């Protein structure tokens, strides 16, 4: 996700953006809601002037888009010898993200108030969820092409089965003691009993 576009003009202080993003993440992780926050509250927490925030972001949606961009990390290229290894590696990254309490709090806050912030919610799915989903689809399709995964599997459904346990943990906040590498391999191993091609 790219930071929201703004008209050309006077250079903005990058320290203002960094401070505001950190302030939002801190406040949300402490229990604030997206609708409950104001730019005034965020400015006070960030230690910047209200005018500097209003010059940078006209609405909270604009600021929240930049917060989502800050916590998003583009997935790396996966090139392990098998799809099984790539799926486990990708899941491990997703699990590591759930262990980031501030990032997880921001995502839970967004999902809880999706109706109040429809454009923010739309862009979150378009620019964060969809690209990560496409990575999983490519890995699964590669496994089908190499004969590692059964050709009759529903790619989208397999992806949902893989990520569902992680989403459940994130939504409940039950991530304490979760080991990304061990958990991802366990999920993949359990699912492979059903999707692995005969003789693979």
What CA–CA distance (Å, rounded) separates 131 from 72? 11
Note the pLDDT tens digit of each residue in 120-134.
Answer: 889 888 888 888 899
Q: Comparing 82 with 11, which gets the higher pLDDT?
A: 82
Q: Comparing 146 with 176, which gets the higher pLDDT?
A: 146
Q: Which fold has domain 14-68?
A: Arc Repressor Mutant, subunit A (1.10.10)
Note the pLDDT tens digit of each residue in 162-183.
Answer: 999 888 877 776 677 788 899 9
Q: Give the pLDDT confidence score for residue 159 in this predicted structure.
A: 95
14-68 and 72-195 in the same fold: no
Q: Which whole number is the average pLDDT over 20-41?
A: 94
Q: Which fold has domain 72-195?
A: Tetracycline Repressor; domain 2 (1.10.357)
**pLDDT at residue 101 tops 90:** no
Domain locations along the chain: 14-68, 72-195
Q: Please, what is the average pLDDT of the chain?
A: 86
Positive or negative torsion for Cα 68, 115, 98, 94: negative
* DSSP letter assigned to residue 175: -
């Amino acid at each position: 996700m790219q930071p929201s576009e703004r008209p050309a003009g006077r250079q903005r202080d990058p320290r203002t953006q960094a401070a505001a993003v950190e302030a939002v993440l801190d406040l949300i992780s402490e229990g604030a809601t997206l609708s409950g926050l104001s730019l005034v509250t965020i400015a006070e927490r960030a230690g910047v002037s209200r005018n500097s925030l209003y010059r940078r972001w006209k609405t909270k949606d604009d600021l929240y888009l930049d917060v989502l961009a800050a916590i998003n990390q583009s997935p790396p290229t996966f090139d392990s010898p098998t799809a099984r290894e790539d799926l486990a590696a990708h899941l491990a990254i997703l699990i590591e993200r759930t262990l980031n309490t501030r990032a997880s709090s921001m995502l839970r806050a967004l999902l809880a108030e999706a109706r109040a912030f429809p454009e923010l919610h739309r862009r979150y799915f378009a620019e964060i969820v969809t690209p990560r989903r496409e990575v999983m689809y490519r890995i699964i399709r590669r496994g089908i092409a190499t004969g590692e995964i059964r050709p009759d599997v529903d790619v989208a459904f397999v992806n949902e089965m893989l990520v569902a346990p992680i989403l459940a943990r994130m939504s409940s906040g039950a991530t304490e003691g979760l080991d990304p590498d061990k958990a991802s391999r366990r999920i993949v191993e359990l699912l492979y009993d059903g999707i692995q091609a005969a003789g693979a």
